[in-house]
Homo-oligomer: A and B are copies of this chain.
């Protein structure tokens, strides 16, 4: 009867969450094994027991982020179009629901951050980046196709790509300006006005 204890927090899990939190604020290259170890309450060398290299940790962090977003998106699919798209926009405006934030420093999507720093991560971690993009685009394609029955497959896919990229971009610029929500909202207003989110 092997079963993970729920009384004791899982060290591996704690490392992933602490790493994710830092990546969303400061990026993957700014992530330090020594700081991470201090957060979790172990020594730097012990982190390597769970994640042999920093690249392995990158893979786990992006994978976890992707799984969480996938689960959240699935929970939205049954609502009406405008509500669904509104929730999708909010996801990029406010970050993952349920993600713990110990401070109010600006954060962005793990995937946006790591996409910039992609040259620093190994192939398996890059594959998780691809998984995240596909998960978003395919989910959007489903939502769009359900509303616009007359759209060709190509048109649906192009719009799905466009909405995903548009959200990541608005988030990135807002982050660069110190977490400026107004610039995010201004961009979304422009998207809506042009018909990209209809």
User: What residues make up the interface of A, taking CB atoms closer than 8 Å to B?
Assistant: 25-27, 29-30, 105-106, 108, 111-120, 126, 129-130, 133, 155, 157-173, 175-178, 183, 186-191, 193-196
Contacts and interface: CB of A to CB of B under 8 A. Distances in A.
Contacts of A112: 116, 172
B157 A186 contact: yes
Contacts of A189: 158, 161-162
Contacts of A120: 26-27, 30
Nearest to A111: B176
A47 to B, nearest CB: 19
Given A105-B119, A168-B169, A162 B29 contact: no
A146 B90 CA distance: 32
A138 B29 CA distance: 33
B27 A175 contact: no
A134 B66 CA distance: 32
B176 A162 contact: no
A161 B190 contact: yes
A193 to B, nearest CB: 6
Contacts of A196: 162, 190-191, 194-196
B187 A161 contact: yes
A76 B106 CA distance: 35
Contact of A116 (B117, B163, B164): B117
Contacts of A118: 106, 175-176, 178
A129 to B, nearest CB: 5
A132 to B, nearest CB: 9
The 10 closest A-B pairs by CB, nearest first: A169-B169, A162-B190, A115-B176, A29-B29, A158-B190, A116-B116, A165-B169, A165-B187, A161-B186, A158-B189
